[in-house]
Structure 1
Amino acid sequence: MASEIVPYVWKRFSSLIFVQDTHRKVLRAAGVRKEVEKIAKNFKDILAVLPDAQAREMQEQKVRDWLDKVKNISYDMNDAFDEYSTLFLKLQIVGDEHPLVKKKVCFFFLAPRFFFAAVNLCHRSAVMIKKINENLDDIVNEKHDLSLNASESTEKQIQITSSSDLNEINSENEKEKILVSKLLGEGSSLISIMGMKEEGKTLVQSAYNNNEVIKNFSKRIWVNILGSEDKCSIKIEVSEGKPISVGYDVFNKTINQHIKDEKFLLVLNDMRIEDFYKLESVYFVIDGGIDGSKILIITSDERSDAFRIISDDIIMINELSGEENWSMFSKLAFSGRSIQECESLKEIGQKIVSRCLGLPLAIQIMGSMLRFKTSIQEWERILDNKVWTLEESKVGFLPVFFLSYYDLPSMVRLCFIYCAIFPKGYSMNKDKLIKLWMAQGYLGLEPNIEMEILGQRYFNHLVTRSFFQDFEKDDNGDITSCKINGLMHDFAKFLNRNECIEINDSAEEPSRNSVPDKVFHLMLMLKKSSSSVPNLNAKRLRTLFISCEDDYYHLDNDILQQLFGNLARVRALKFDVFVREIPTEIGKLIQLRYLDLSGQQIKKLPETLCQLYNLQSLDITWCDELEELPQAMGKLINLRHLINDYTYSLSYMPVGIGRLTHLRTLSEFIVSGAGNGTPDSKACCLESLKDLNRLRGKLVLRGLGNVRNVSEVVKMELKNKKILSGLGVLFDEDEEEQRINHDESLLKALQPPPNLEKLDIQFYRGSTFHSNWVMSLTSLRHLRLKFCINCKHLSPFGELHSLESLRIRKISSVKRVDDKFWGIESDGRSSSSSSSILFPKLKYLKFSDMKEWEEWDFKIIREGEEKECITFMPCLASLEINFCGKLKALPDDLLQRITLKKLELYGCPVLTQYFKKRIEEHWPKINQISTIKIDGEYVRGGPDH
């Protein structure tokens, strides 16, 4: 489809040529001003006829061919802009390193290399502009032959969507609730889902990924029956990892290997009568599993009597009744409207629903779209749209899909189509998906809006329009990952016309040993025996994901060298195979913006990596053998995300990190320690963080105890990083007594931003946590203290009014948790002048490895007494105490919290004995605690409570 890429390229062209003054000067020097004006005119002519061409492309081959040409030249223009921008950027970076440039001296007179580089830039710009014009002239001339009608097109706007909108649109349907209850119940062991193929699969997928279902089964297996004579594909989604393929003859044996002594859920998707006879014995495999195991059959086979005979339970997926159709549609489309509005739109809505042919997904998509159409005229335009005349038998999809798709803004359409690179059923991480959109340039053209924020808006927009499903969420209720409905995935692949493909490298498929030139995004699945990769000399390739069915497959260095020599235009590169070494040829990937090396066994990154001036995201998470980063990291001035969690072998950060002022993510900053063999000239200090004020998410300062002078911490100016939400402070594991005062001074000097939400302090050697800035964190929701062995007293954490979870581990010098912990003065009053509620929002409290802890006191002032009444922990839901061997008792008032639902004790012999002695006395007072677990055994309730 061309209508997505053309507006995008026009925006890029306008931004480069008409907005940025520096680029105008370069083009003026190149002498191509008139050619630029001609490109602008041609582009406007093409944009004007796009809506008409879009409406006619499904019926007219000539129009479709013309749009393909428009698309190809648009991509070529985009590549030309990237090449030009990279040359300009390289000249700027090299110039910034020259001492005279810093004095604002014109680079033409600095040195011959600057002069010739600038002349080369002007020359190549002129060639680029003239070539674009020649190609556009041909496209515009052909446009007239097709009699395309011009119209005034306006770009659709993104609605700002709230989290409540997201939850409402993607709520569970009734059939899913029924299926989930059957899977969790003790009834039928074999269930058949009969009727509409895609809707049956969608229903089972939603139930299959339900959090309660995941917890209920120790093993989940999804089997796709391909329908060929001798093969079926078995997809195992728990510990075994990637899918495997077997024949019918070894199917049962393979399944039995995975389900033996497991409580399993086995799904047989797209089952036919022929498969039933070949796999009949599969229904006896359930004997190999634990009680409660389930088999689910999905079938649309009309000859389904056999399934009715062998199934204990049947759920029919039929077309919805008229009443059910209208109920689903009106719930979405009329949400938030007045009764008068609903009445005025009812007649039009009923006509639209009748055209959805009873397909629940189609009704959901249409209802989600019309929800945001505010006037009768907008609804009428949807009803009268020519797209309804499309024949599903010719295009393969209902008109509803096209209507909803073309109603999206063009940039959001590009983002949706990109998702076709992932296999069906793939769980897409939201943050990584947004970074991939960034890498393709889909998010960088809106003025004054950060790409990450814009990506979140695009993502939410696709969610509200029902393009995504099967969401996983974090503790805040924010979506972290999602999937695409199978039918919607097919639609995305149809739209991109094989621009996104998946190739399984196999000797049995010699015709697929090379990648078509028109492929833009490729998922390459290697075999265990692969000694080479297919010919990736695809000139347009922009995304490459390499995976393998063998989790331990290593990609040889010579293969990587071969790859990197052919990927000059690639923007995103991800390895799901092991790589031992990154060759220097990676510097050739000059357009690379996203590089995912997470989990690799590399020890060093080449210096040529720093030639990737366009790089935005570098993920080295779990590269635990990586010993150092390249010294020239400061050249990566476009880097926005350096994700380096769990890189335990890194001992310092290279000089130049402070130049990366675009950084939004820096997972860990490692403070170099004296005597670790790192020269001071190679390692940067904390002060380098001074200007990195765009950091967000969580920042971990590892090795803070290595700081020699407290002034270094002050110069970091942590308080200016106002959008930072999490902070981890890891001192040294060194237990020297003389470091106590030093660590206390360092902690006081930190002064993080006051709106911090998460704080994690480890290996701190001070004697107290009490610091003014800790108690001033009014937005702090999660606090963890760990391995702080010298601390003898806990601070008044009860005064942290936003705190929701508190984890304290191995504070081994604490003998008594007293009133100071709660925030109570010696006279029994709250030490906080603003509130008499202590821990007002705390839901989760955990103590671990407190080997000296003996007493837990709480002097509560009750109602009716002369002094103020104090309320404490009114929201506490879970209390865990582990390996606190000397603790004698818990405060009775704490156990009697009405909200407390879970109590867990482990390795606390004195406390356990205390409970056993007084169990009859305590039991009636703690009826509200539904789950009690002591030393690994459930005394009350169980894992399902």
Structure 2
Amino acid sequence: MAEIILCPLLEVVLNKVASRLLKEVALTYGFEDEIDKLRHSLSIIQAVVEDAEERQVNEKALRIWLADLKEVAYDIDGLFDVFDLDVVMSRSHYGFGMKKFLPSLKPVAAYLELLPKLKEIRKRLEFLAAEKVRFSLKQQVVETRCDAEEKRQTGSFVIESEVVGRDQDKEAILELVLSNGGSGFNGRFSVIPIVGLGGLGETTLAQLAYNDERVTEYFELRIWVCVNEEFNVRRIMKMIIESVTVSRSDFLGMDVLQSQLRSLLRGRRYLLVLDDVWNEDPDEWDKLRISLSDGGEGSKVIVTTCSTKVALLVGTASPFYIKTLSDDDCWLLFKQRAFAPGEDYPKLEAIGREIVRKCGGIPMAAKALGSLMRFKREEEEWLYVQESDIQNACEGEDGVLRALRLSYSHLPSHLKCCFAYCSVFPKNYVIKKENLIHLWIAEGLIQSKERKSLEDIGNEYFTDLMWMFFFQDVNKDCDGSVTECKMHNLIHDLAQSVAGDESVVLVHGNVSKHLARTHHSSVVCDSELQTIPESLYEAKKLRTLNLLFSKGNLGEAPPKVFSSFRCLRALNLCGSGIKKLSDSIASLVSLRYLNISNTLIETLPETVCELSHLQVLDLSYCCDLTELPRLLTKIFKLRHLIINGCDRLSHLPDNIGRLLQLQTLPIFIVGTQASQSLKQLYRLPIGGELKIQRLENAVFVPGAIDANLRDKPKLRSVGLSWGSNHDGSMMRNDENDRVAEELLMSLRPHQNLKSLSIEGYPGGYFPRWIRGSNLPNLTNIKLINCRRCEQLPALGQIPFVKVIYMRGMPAVKNIGSGFCGRGSGRPFQSLQELTFIEFPNLEFWQGTNAKEEFPSLFKLTVNGCPRLKNLPFFSSLQHLELRNCNEMILS
């Protein structure tokens, strides 16, 4: 069932209407009264819409009303993109003048055409906002929640013979439950969280442990409490007391309840199961924890939850993450429900096993599908379910998506919107976290707060959804940061269910019948479908379009994209094979996200610079791209210029330092003019990766060598290179070398840096900032073709450096103790890989203390060091590679 979430969008629209600049323009052109009415209507809407969103689950008419309201909100939001006063102000900075770009009465008139419909909606909302109706609304929501909670009550009883695939998990939990040790609260009790995706069997696993004979013998008291949505400490304490005394508790006061509970537990070893916990408030948990602290030594609390955040909040032990079942185990569960004992249908088994694969290892889904097939014995009926999504096959069945919907219902509205947006991706699609956050921002789903950037807030949203298991198969980089993920098929079904007609994925040319209200779409372009289906052009209000190619050969984007989808905010042509981008791209006035990475494009049209709302321009690995648009800095809202792998770029547009919101600029090419000097980086809030190339050009702009890298805390990787091919063979003179030494000194990065590369450096020595106290977080360093440096920098006391790679340093004759650095700690304590290549004049390598130096090194590569006569002692070395070295070393 589609669910309409409107609060985040209304907040965006209301912020735009409340703009001070809009008020001034409205006053100038005489429509201030209309803007005030609009602002007032939106305020009323915002006051009641949250309650309406809650109630829509049970009232179809209200859901339709919210859908209509959302369309109007989209129209208003889109209109403000055309009528954007920020753009007016930015253009005035380019000397066009404010008056020329103040809005004419024509767009104002178009804007006012929306007001009659808005007034009608406002009247309906005013009716809902009436005191009596609002009270009734809230009461009905509470009653609905209570009714739903009654249905979700769980008990401790379980039929163990019907549980499959959990024997090892049960034993692992029992080991934790029956252990005498543990770092519990006050040494009295420990908390063991069982956590996983809804429907995986967290409750079942707790029941298995709770009813085990070893547990009944070990604990004097066993207590089971189903917590559900509301973590009401008073109610939980009352239920524990009633479980222990086996009688109804009439205590009302919190103090009396607490005293009674502590008295009942005092000195008695207990096992308490708190099933289905969602509370993330540490204060509420502390209230309960205090009342449980008088139990006997070895008492345990098992908490089952679908939230990693909850597990980390309450647990004194590491969370026990429950995993999916194998297809064979799911088949056993399915067969229990689908067939009576002794029934044998060989023809149906093969189909049934294919159906079970849809469960993705979730026991609840296997049981629900088995129940669905219980009275179906025709092959056609089973084939229909095999070819259908679970949500369609089990429509109306209780339980198949119930647990997952419960997880969804606990999300705040902003996370609901972000999750529903993920339905735009096909099943099993690898989602890049960075791209997803950029798309959320483009769609306006992330709103700024305090001093945090939108990207940082988006990262928090992603983490929250990941901790609720809405994302799986998470991939991480070498630093442990999440880079990619997928969605479980059932989670994807849930996303499609809540998104409804707002989002559609077209595969193999399939066409949705409801496109009028479609705002987000992906088209999977394969051998059967190479372009956009004509029917999709009916979606005139499309805001996201992903063209997903397995092997692109599009040549040029379909012209109708630019004429039909004027509301587009995100356009993804990655891997499409396009060689040219039409000038008509400028017609997409609302575009925030443009991805044309991994294509054959050579140049971009200058009309790209008219996309005044553009935030993300992804050109990564456009290997044929030779230049960027000359007036790129007109796109003053640009936040991410992604040009990794664009190796044919010889220069960047002038004055890129004007893009004051630019956070991603992986390549900066130093030019010979002030408009291309390092000074352009000074005010940019760049993070992530930055490679500064052609540093030899810095000599042509005296005084413009400060890139201010030291004040860029979000930079994680910095590369510094001299020369066009980084081989150190460019023309040199003493003056240029002296400037290079001063330049490298000025390029000291922030201490958060994790990776540093220096290539083709013509100076004679390395700056003092390359040392442990200045770069405490550095993990990777490369020094390549630094041909005049006679001494290696003091790297030994950098605490976390894991990889050191050095090549092409003919001036180094000896490696002395200075390489280890000065400090009290063991040198190179974290170093795992060390490489020396092309050190033709290196003769001696002076070690320090054999027991302390290189304690973690497992791989050493020495290549092209023909004069080297000795090596230090390496206590942990596992891989040694020696090539083109002195025979004394080889022997």
**TM, length-normalised to structure 1:** 0.65
Residue 566 (structure 2) aligns with: 568
**Would the alpha carbon gap of residues 505 and 608 (structure 1) be closer, same or farther in structure 2, given more than 3 Å must change?**
farther
| CA distance in structure 2 between the partners assigned to 1:523 and 1:33 by the alignment | 41
Q: Which amino acid aligns with 1:132?
A: L
Residue 676 (structure 2) aligns with: 684
Residue 327 (structure 2) aligns with: none
| CA distance in structure 2 between the partners assigned to 1:752 and 1:666 by the alignment | 18
| CA distance in structure 1 between the partners assigned to 2:211 and 2:12 by the alignment | 43
Residue of structure 1 aligned with 2:430, choices 427, 431, 437: 427
- How far apart are residue 586 of structure 1 and its match? 0.9
Residue 706 (structure 1) aligns with: 697
Q: Which amino acid aligns with 2:769?
A: W
- The gaps in structure 2 that reach 5 residues or longer are 143-163, 170-194, 213-222, 244-271, 279-302, 316-390
Residue 866 (structure 2) aligns with: 886
SS at match of 2:646: coil
Q: What does the per-residue CA deviation read over 1:293-346, in whole Å, with 9 as the maximum and x for residues that have no partner?
A: xxxxxxxxxxxxxxxxxxxxxxx999657235999x999999xx9x99997886
- How far apart are residue 532 of structure 1 and its match? 4.7
- How far apart are residue 93 of structure 1 and its match? 2.8
Residue 417 (structure 2) aligns with: 414
Question: Are the counterparts in 1 of residues 545 and 570 from structure 2 also a CA contact under 8 Å?
Answer: yes
| 1:479-878 map, 5 Å | 479-506=482-509, 516-528=515-527, 532-535=531-534, 536-537=536-537, 538-549=539-550, 551=551, 553-557=552-556, 559-575=557-573, 576-672=575-671, 684-692=676-684, 694-709=685-700, 711-732=702-723, 733=725, 735-736=729-730, 738-739=732-733, 742-749=736-743, 750-775=746-771, 777-781=774-778, 782-823=780-821, 832=822, 835-860=823-848, 871-874=852-855, 876-878=856-858
| CA distance in structure 1 between the partners assigned to 2:620 and 2:789 by the alignment | 32
RMSD: 4.4
Question: Are the counterparts in 1 of residues 707 and 747 from structure 2 also a CA contact under 8 Å?
Answer: no
Residue 442 (structure 1) aligns with: 445
Q: What does the per-residue CA deviation read over 1:727-766, in whole Å, with 9 as the maximum and x for residues that have no partner?
A: 2101104514524652452243233334152453444242
Question: Are the counterparts in 1 of residues 2 and 497 from structure 2 also a CA contact under 8 Å?
Answer: no
**Would the alpha carbon gap of residues 415 and 330 (structure 1) be closer, same or farther in structure 2, given more than 3 Å must change?**
farther
Aligned pair 1:902/2:883, yes or no?
Answer: no
Q: What does the per-residue CA deviation read over 1:519-545, in whole Å, with 9 as the maximum and x for residues that have no partner?
A: 211111123365653124211211111
| CA distance in structure 2 between the partners assigned to 1:843 and 1:7 by the alignment | 50
Aligned residues: 688
Q: What does the per-residue CA deviation read over 1:172-196, in whole Å, with 9 as the maximum and x for residues that have no partner?
A: x997999xxxxxxxxxxxxxxxxxx
Q: Which amino acid aligns with 2:878?
A: K
Q: Which amino acid aligns with 1:422?
A: F
SS at match of 2:702: helix
Q: Which amino acid aligns with 2:742?
A: K
SS at match of 1:420: helix
Q: Which amino acid aligns with 1:774?
A: I
Question: Are the counterparts in 1 of residues 670 and 678 from structure 2 also a CA contact under 8 Å?
Answer: yes
Residue 307 (structure 1) aligns with: none
Residue 471 (structure 1) aligns with: 474
| CA distance in structure 1 between the partners assigned to 2:752 and 2:872 by the alignment | 33
Q: What does the per-residue CA deviation read over 1:498-525, in whole Å, with 9 as the maximum and x for residues that have no partner?
A: 322211244xx5x66x982222111111
Q: Which amino acid aligns with 1:521?
A: H
SS at match of 1:665: coil
Q: Which amino acid aligns with 1:777?
A: N
| CA distance in structure 2 between the partners assigned to 1:712 and 1:177 by the alignment | 68
**Would the alpha carbon gap of residues 760 and 369 (structure 1) be closer, same or farther in structure 2, given more than 3 Å must change?**
closer
| CA distance in structure 2 between the partners assigned to 1:889 and 1:124 by the alignment | 83
- How far apart are residue 56 of structure 1 and its match? 4.5
**Would the alpha carbon gap of residues 541 and 709 (structure 1) be closer, same or farther in structure 2, given more than 3 Å must change?**
same
**Would the alpha carbon gap of residues 631 and 886 (structure 1) be closer, same or farther in structure 2, given more than 3 Å must change?**
same
- How far apart are residue 669 of structure 1 and its match? 0.6
SS at match of 1:770: coil
Q: What does the per-residue CA deviation read over 1:30-87, in whole Å, with 9 as the maximum and x for residues that have no partner?
A: 54444445445544554555455445434443233223223323323332333333xx
**Would the alpha carbon gap of residues 488 and 742 (structure 1) be closer, same or farther in structure 2, given more than 3 Å must change?**
same
- How far apart are residue 593 of structure 1 and its match? 0.9
SS at match of 1:794: coil
| CA distance in structure 1 between the partners assigned to 2:122 and 2:60 by the alignment | 20
Residue 60 (structure 2) aligns with: 61
Question: Are the counterparts in 2 of residues 819 and 858 from structure 1 also a CA contact under 8 Å?
Answer: yes
**Would the alpha carbon gap of residues 745 and 78 (structure 1) be closer, same or farther in structure 2, given more than 3 Å must change?**
same
| CA distance in structure 2 between the partners assigned to 1:130 and 1:445 by the alignment | 31
Q: Which amino acid aligns with 1:746?
A: A
| CA distance in structure 2 between the partners assigned to 1:620 and 1:5 by the alignment | 33
Question: Are the counterparts in 2 of residues 604 and 629 from structure 1 also a CA contact under 8 Å?
Answer: yes
Aligned pair 1:13/2:10, yes or no?
Answer: no
Q: What does the per-residue CA deviation read over 1:138-189, in whole Å, with 9 as the maximum and x for residues that have no partner?
A: 6666999x967444999xxxxxxxxxxxxxxxxxx997999xxxxxxxxxxx
| CA distance in structure 1 between the partners assigned to 2:572 and 2:763 by the alignment | 46
| CA distance in structure 2 between the partners assigned to 1:838 and 1:351 by the alignment | 48
SS at match of 1:598: coil
Q: Which amino acid aligns with 1:492?
A: A
- How far apart are residue 614 of structure 1 and its match? 0.7
**Would the alpha carbon gap of residues 861 and 405 (structure 1) be closer, same or farther in structure 2, given more than 3 Å must change?**
closer
| 1:191-206 map, 5 Å | none
- How far apart are residue 859 of structure 1 and its match? 4.7
SS at match of 1:807: strand
**Would the alpha carbon gap of residues 118 and 848 (structure 1) be closer, same or farther in structure 2, given more than 3 Å must change?**
farther
Question: Are the counterparts in 2 of residues 763 and 789 from structure 1 also a CA contact under 8 Å?
Answer: no
Question: Are the counterparts in 2 of residues 727 and 756 from structure 1 also a CA contact under 8 Å?
Answer: no
| CA distance in structure 1 between the partners assigned to 2:466 and 2:528 by the alignment | 40
SS at match of 1:438: helix
Q: Which amino acid aligns with 1:806?
A: I
Q: What does the per-residue CA deviation read over 1:586-617, in whole Å, with 9 as the maximum and x for residues that have no partner?
A: 11111111111111111101100011111111
Q: Which amino acid aligns with 1:748?
A: E
- How far apart are residue 396 of structure 1 and its match? 6.6
Aligned pair 1:96/2:93, yes or no?
Answer: yes
Question: Are the counterparts in 1 of residues 225 and 236 from structure 2 also a CA contact under 8 Å?
Answer: no
| CA distance in structure 1 between the partners assigned to 2:757 and 2:277 by the alignment | 60
Residue 365 (structure 1) aligns with: 306
- How far apart are residue 489 of structure 1 and its match? 1.3
**Would the alpha carbon gap of residues 401 and 369 (structure 1) be closer, same or farther in structure 2, given more than 3 Å must change?**
farther
Q: What does the per-residue CA deviation read over 1:796-850, in whole Å, with 9 as the maximum and x for residues that have no partner?
A: 2224345333211222443332223223xxxxxxxx3xx2335354323322422
Question: Are the counterparts in 2 of residues 630 and 654 from structure 1 also a CA contact under 8 Å?
Answer: yes
| 1:340-359 map, 5 Å | 353=276
| 1:207-222 map, 5 Å | none
Question: Are the counterparts in 2 of residues 89 and 613 from structure 1 also a CA contact under 8 Å?
Answer: no
Q: Which amino acid aligns with 2:518?
A: V
**Would the alpha carbon gap of residues 370 and 70 (structure 1) be closer, same or farther in structure 2, given more than 3 Å must change?**
farther
Question: Are the counterparts in 2 of residues 778 and 802 from structure 1 also a CA contact under 8 Å?
Answer: no
- How far apart are residue 579 of structure 1 and its match? 0.9
Q: Which amino acid aligns with 2:853?
A: F
| 1:190-339 map, 5 Å | 320=205, 322-323=207-208
SS at match of 1:881: strand
**Would the alpha carbon gap of residues 850 and 541 (structure 1) be closer, same or farther in structure 2, given more than 3 Å must change?**
same
**Would the alpha carbon gap of residues 424 and 330 (structure 1) be closer, same or farther in structure 2, given more than 3 Å must change?**
farther
